[in-house]
Amino acid sequence: MSSSSSISSSSRSHKSDVFLSYHDKDASLTQAGFVVYINHNNLTSGDQTNFSAIEASRTSIIIFSSNFDASKWFLEELEQILECGRTIGQVILPVFYVVDPSDVRRQIGDFGKDFEDLIGQRILTNNESMRYKEALIEASSISGFLVMSS
């Protein structure tokens, strides 16, 4: 997330009920009647379209799984979601899908392996690594749902 981005906290109209931060489309939300923004266009990292969609949603659902943090893009999305929670009061709902919240918090186990790979491959700078670790700690400290079977 760019430090120069700003989010207006003025009266807002929401374009979607839910922004879903996950690799695959969750059809059950749309079947339940929610308008869900899902990145159908495989937008690239830093694309402002996804950030705008996050800001325009009432709620962001973050699905943490063993491969959530395999991408720098998802970590950038996570930072934006947390920023919206802090600045505009967006509801953030973490779902821990077959992953322990403490593994997310400490970046260990299967969840932490991909994060360490990003660091080892020098895909993340030291500054990004620290920011994303802080974001993972913050997000995994929010009360959410734990789903331990697929």
Catalytic residue at 77? yes
3-state SS of the chain: helix, strand, coil percent to 5? 45, 15, 40
Pairing of the two strands 57-64 and 16-21: parallel
The whole-angstrom separation of Cα 77 and Cα 75 is 5
Pairing of the two strands 16-21 and 91-97: unpaired
Q: Quickly count: other Cβ atoms within 10 Å of residue 71's Cβ.
A: 15
Nearest to 22 by CA among 64, 73, 85: 64
The whole-angstrom separation of Cα 55 and Cα 71 is 21
- The one catalytic residue in 77, 83, 128, 138 is 77
The answer to whether the beta carbons of residues 86 and 117 sit under 8 Å apart is no
**Residues tagged active-site:** 77
